Amino acid sequence: MYEIVVHKIDIKSHMREKTERFLASFGLAMDGDVEYTIIARIGDRIIGTCSFAGKVIKCFAVAKEYQNIGISERLLTEITNVMFDRGIQDSFIFTRPENKVLFEGFGFKEIYATDSIALLESGSRDIKGYIARMFKNSGLDGGEKAALVVNCNPFTLGHRYLIQKASENNIQVVVFVVEEDLSLFPFPVRMNLIKEGLKDLENVTVLPGGEYIISSGTFPTYFLREDEEKDKAYQSLDAGIFGKYIAPVFNIKKRYLGTETYSKTTDEYNQAMIDILPNYGVETVLVERIEVDSKIVSASTVRQLIREDRWSEIRVMVPDSTYNYLLSDEAIPVIENIKKSNSRH
Amino acid sequence: MKINKVARAGTMESSDIFIMVQPGDNQGLDIRLSSVVIDQYGNHIRNVIMETLKSMNIEDIELTANDRGALDYTIRSRVETAVKRAL
């Protein structure tokens, strides 16, 4: 009998192209952020493949005539072993809703599904327990709340304005800060500047966003754009997870959103919130951005001004706490990075 | 006895069971089982895992098991291996 072998491929070699062709026959593409790829083959013929990026298992396919003979099992075992050796014990899978059952057989559990995509997590993870712990650790009570999700890269007067609006019109406000450390300003710095900049607003609580709010596990395209259809699917997933799991536990009744002029991703993301959150009893409130000297205040504008060393313009866009940080020694490496990069984040 | 790191044993192939263990947070034996035959043998598999852990004097552990129709001796050996790797 022919022998099926499973092994790693060098994603920079010609094997990548072969694997991409194989994936294309399923209407799948090799995502740009893939770190590690394995294939199953007989002779020179690829009959299955699987990859991962961060905590996410993706780009998984097995040729139709070789399904149900244990190839998925070998691919998944191999990829999770490699992930494990790299310290990733829990994983996520994005897949088409029709493949959900296959992965459920491997102990994965559905978190959320849209018409075009389903997000599952491995059996060792538990979104409900995680969110319950997040709430317990926050020390918040069960009263009704308004919420915002912010990255604040870095914290500007625009963020301050938006959060102040929420603070004035609601009894309690929770600010979730994107925890994933893929932004130019590191998470602890962003967190500190937000807390400093909101110190006087007593009904506002600032919390780390954790693993289910705009994390690369649940929302990879926030950090790395793919095609439009994929972006849209991921945005709906993130909105859905917020509505289904986070809002009920924290008793969130409103979500505040800033209008977005410069970032298409954020603009579409807002639309996903507006479409989906009302289904979970969460009202969305869209707040116009503020302008200073007819320029819209945004973190991306501030980063651009940093690149151009236009400090007097930065001064009027950020609160004292952010400005003092930018002038401090601690900020030197961050500013150097900003000047080197053209990243959206 | 307590384990002090994360470890796993087994595969996701048919007739095997994949076990992952990590130190618990004083919740006793916390077992999360998924199985292709959970309706028929869920309780039995759970008992085999429990007994194996008790025979090794493990009192506090978080164990994730993904069963693909393993027989008892496979379950026992996979649990034992995972625990020993985590000591």
**pLDDT by residue (tens digit) across B27-82?**
889 999 999 899 999 999 999 999 999 999 999 999 999 999 999 999 999 999 99
Which has the minimum average pLDDT: A135-139, A296-300, A305-309?
Answer: A296-300
CATH superfamily of A128-340: HUPs (3.40.50.620)
ipTM summary value: 0.75
Contact A124 B12 (CB under 8 A): no
* Chain A positions in Cβ-Cβ contact with residue B46 (cut-off 8 Å): none
Q: Which residue of A has its CA nearest to B17?
A: A106
Average pLDDT over every residue of A167-186:
93
Does residue A260 contact residue A270 with C-beta atoms inside 8 Å? yes
Which residue among B11, B36, B64 places its CB closest to the CB of A77?
B11
Q: Identify the contact set of chain B against chain A, taking CB-CB distances under 8 A.
A: 6, 8, 11-14, 18, 20, 22, 32, 34, 36, 62, 64-66, 68
Q: Which residue of A has its CA nearest to B69?
A: A105
Which residue among A77, A104, A109 places its CB closest to the CB of B12?
A77
pLDDT band for A17, please (50, 70, 90 cuts): very high
CA A217 – CA A32 distance, rounded (Å)? 15
Residue B51 is predicted with a pLDDT of: 96
Q: Which residue of B has its CA nearest to A74?
A: B13
Domain with CATH 3.40.630.30 in chain A: 4-89
With helix as H, strand as E and coil as C, how does A10-37 read? CCCCHHHHHHHHHHHCCCCCCCCCCCEE
Residue A344 is predicted with a pLDDT of: 57
Give the number of residues written for chain A: 345
Residue A345 is predicted with a pLDDT of: 56
Residue A262 has pLDDT above 90, yes or no: no
Does residue A159 contact residue A152 with C-beta atoms inside 8 Å? yes
Which residue among B14, B22, B34 places its CB closest to the CB of A70?
B14
Answer positive or negative: Cα dihedral of A312, A318, A324, A330: negative
* Chain A positions in Cβ-Cβ contact with residue B6 (cut-off 8 Å): 89
CA A288 – CA A161 distance, rounded (Å)? 10
Which residue among B6, B12, B65 places its CB closest to the CB of A73?
B12
Q: Identify the contact set of chain A against chain B, taking CB-CB distances under 8 A.
A: 70, 73-74, 76-77, 80-81, 84, 89, 104-107, 109, 122-124, 126
- In 3D, which of A4, A129, A169, A130 has the Cα closest to residue A78? A4
Does residue B31 contact residue B48 with C-beta atoms inside 8 Å? no
Write the DSSP string, A229-291.
HHHHHHHHHHHHHIIIIIHHHHTEEEEEEE--SS-HHHHHHHHHHHHHGGGGT-EEEEEPPPE
Q: Which residue has the higher pLDDT, A182 or A241?
A: A241
Structural domains of chain B, with CATH: 7-86 (3.30.230.10)
CA A303 – CA A248 distance, rounded (Å)? 36
Query: Which CATH code, of 3.40.50.150, 1.10.3210.10, 3.40.630.30, 3.40.50.2300, is assigned to A4-89?
Result: 3.40.630.30
Does residue A38 contact residue A2 with C-beta atoms inside 8 Å? no
Residue B42 is predicted with a pLDDT of: 95
Residue A273 is predicted with a pLDDT of: 93
Strands (E), chain A: 4-9, 36-42, 45-53, 56-62, 92-95, 109-113, 118-121, 145-150, 173-177, 204-208, 252-258, 283-287, 291-292, 295-296
Average pLDDT over every residue of A153-179:
95
Contact A124 B34 (CB under 8 A): no
Domain with CATH 3.40.50.620 in chain A: 128-340
Residue A29 has pLDDT above 70, yes or no: yes
pLDDT band for A343, please (50, 70, 90 cuts): low
CA A339 – CA B13 distance, rounded (Å)? 50
CA A183 – CA B51 distance, rounded (Å)? 48
- In 3D, which of A122, A193, A119 has the Cα closest to residue A160? A193
Which residue among B14, B22, B62 places its CB closest to the CB of A73?
B14
- In 3D, which of A39, A40, A42, A17 has the Cα closest to residue A30? A17
Q: Which residue has the higher pLDDT, A241 or A69?
A: A241
CA A1 – CA A4 distance, rounded (Å)? 10
Give the number of residues written for chain B: 87
- List pLDDT tens digits, range A85-133: 998 888 999 888 888 888 988 889 999 998 888 899 987 788 999 999 9
Residue A225 is predicted with a pLDDT of: 58
High-pLDDT (> 90) share of chain A, % = 61
